[in-house]
Structure 1
Amino acid sequence: MENTAVVEVHDLVKRYPGASVRALDGVSVAFGRGSFTAVMGPSGSGKSTLLHCAAGLDRADSGVVRIAGEELSRLREPRLTEARRRRVGFVFQAYNLLDSLSVWHNVLLPQRLAGVRADRGWAEEVLRRVGLAGFERERPSRLSGGQRQRVALARALAGRPEIIFADEPTGALDLASGREVLGLLREAVERTGTAVVMVTHDPAAAAWADRVVFLADGRVVGELAAPTAEAVAGRMTAVSAR
């Protein structure tokens, strides 16, 4: 794994209107190329807010976010959207697929929205790797939850992103399907050098990562390298008791 950071956030602060506390309160963290990081914490700790700000989906009130050295706070639309589409892939718990489109067109959609020529050969390879070769013409509504999440992962990988942000990607899946998706994320890290940042509440899912970053009350309160499910569960118990 390279040490070069693909995403850096420094001293991020984020408040939501009407909230009495900061969703993010001075968060600083970096995610290296070819690394797999899980982000965990109690409900309301700022996990998803961190992911959305680091990915450029939401803007922090203050602080710095850099993706591949490019500072997002300096970008205005549509350059921010362009940078996000060029460098970042997304996988969400709710899949965010369009049932009006086939699997194939869902996978190619981000590249078409970005106005770039789709690499059809790579898209075919990605679908093969996630076990969906032969499903190109199917509609997402005809697939199982695990298959739909694999389509979402193929869509994220098809653009050759430098980093994939995954928000509870196994939360709606059964145990076997969840393991398949986690294995595919692990493979993306090891075979393509893509960085993965995954928000999860599941210690077993976090154990697939290289490290776990723990949040509480909008702050980073610890990290765990080479995690096991047991070690993550123990640390989460301590974090939740703060």
Structure 2
Amino acid sequence: MERLETVVELTSVSKHYAHGVVALEDVSVGFRQGTFTAVMGPSGSGKSTLLQCAAGLDRPTSGRVVVDGRDLTTMGERKLTRLRRDRVGFVFQAFNLLPSLTAAQNVGLPLRLTGRRPDPELIGQSLEAVGLGDRARHRPAELSGGQQQRVAIARALVTRPAVLFADEPTGALDTGTSRDVLRLLRGLADAHAQTIVMVTHDPVAAAYADRVLFLADGRLHGELPDPTAETVTSRMLLLEEAC
């Protein structure tokens, strides 16, 4: 598949907190349409901060973040909230589904939050995309952990986001279920040109990506194209020794 334009671009992004804490320092990286990128690094390396700045959840101290052609660093809070709502999808380790709602109702929540009436066909398409077209009327308690995470992914996709950010999306799942979710994410990138950026600590999970970015002490320490679990593990060991 031809890779198209850069959907997310960070230019010289730094994030400093009080008391001299540096979470990110001069990070420049882009994420192209239809690519699946994993972000890895030791604890405290800045992985989650990178994700939050790229997604517009946190503002960098300096630098520029562009998502879907729009500069987040110059946006007011109202426009930034609208962009996150309409063009950015989020999946986290916790599924964050409302227990009293069906799968379809949970998927439709982002549309309701925008003041739009949920389109049953659109919701059905999102559930079909994650292999749960026959579970629309099931509530979270009637679904397995992997199925609940699939509903969370369908919810993130229902607005047709430019980019899907995933923070340890398989962290609460067993090994077999994790692989099912990772294959789903891989398929979304391949079949639907969905841009995906995933933070993970698992080399096996990272091996599903097109490339792996490595962070340490808030700085980029290279990337690995076409990763395998073995090559990722080796790079992580070298990185941890260097730190």
Band of TM-score, shorter chain: over 0.9
What residue in structure 2 maps to residue 182 of structure 1?
182
Give the Cα separation in 2 of the matches to 1:133 and 1:185.
Answer: 17
What residue in structure 2 maps to residue 2 of structure 1?
3
Specify the SS of the correspondent of 1:8. Answer: strand
Q: How many residues align?
A: 241
Shift of 1:142: 3.1
Letter paired with 1:213: L
What residue in structure 2 maps to residue 13 of structure 1?
14
Give the Cα separation in 1 of the matches to 2:240 and 2:4.
Answer: 30
The question of 1:55 aligning with 2:51 is answered no
Residues 221-241 of structure 1 deviation map (CA, whole Å, 9 limit, x = unaligned): 110001111000000101111
Gaps of 5+ in 1: none
Aligned residue runs from structure 1 range 217-232, under 5 A: 217-232=217-232
TM-score by length of 1: 0.95
Letter paired with 2:93: Q
TM-score by length of 2: 0.95
Q: Which runs of 4+ in 1 moved over 3 A?
A: 116-119
The root-mean-square deviation of aligned C-alpha atoms, in Å, is 1.3
Gaps of 5+ in 2: none
- Report % sequence identity: 56
Give the Cα separation in 1 of the matches to 2:133 and 2:33.
Answer: 28
What residue in structure 2 maps to residue 198 of structure 1?
198
Aligned residue runs from structure 1 range 115-194, under 5 A: 115-194=115-194
Give the Cα separation in 1 of the matches to 2:112 and 2:74.
Answer: 25
Give the Cα separation in 1 of the matches to 2:81 and 2:145.
Answer: 28
Letter paired with 1:78: R
The question of 1:210 aligning with 2:222 is answered no
Shift of 1:59: 1.0
Shift of 1:101: 2.1
After superposing the two structures, state which structure 1 stretch, 213-222 or 133-142, moved more: 133-142
The question of 1:103 aligning with 2:87 is answered no
Shift of 1:93: 0.4
Give the Cα separation in 1 of the matches to 2:62 and 2:50.
Answer: 13
Specify the SS of the correspondent of 2:134. Answer: coil
After superposing the two structures, state which structure 1 stretch, 78-87 or 229-238, moved more: 78-87
Give the Cα separation in 2 of the matches to 1:229 and 1:119.
Answer: 40
Specify the SS of the correspondent of 2:27. Answer: strand
What residue in structure 2 maps to residue 38 of structure 1?
38
Specify the SS of the correspondent of 1:78. Answer: helix
Residues 154-195 of structure 1 deviation map (CA, whole Å, 9 limit, x = unaligned): 111111111100000011101111011111111111121110
Give the Cα separation in 1 of the matches to 2:210 and 2:101.
Answer: 35
Give the Cα separation in 1 of the matches to 2:175 and 2:237.
Answer: 22
Specify the SS of the correspondent of 1:2. Answer: coil
Residues 39-77 of structure 1 deviation map (CA, whole Å, 9 limit, x = unaligned): 000000000110011001111111110001100111112
Residues 104-160 of structure 1 deviation map (CA, whole Å, 9 limit, x = unaligned): 111011122122343421321221232222322222233221111011011111111
Specify the SS of the correspondent of 2:65. Answer: strand
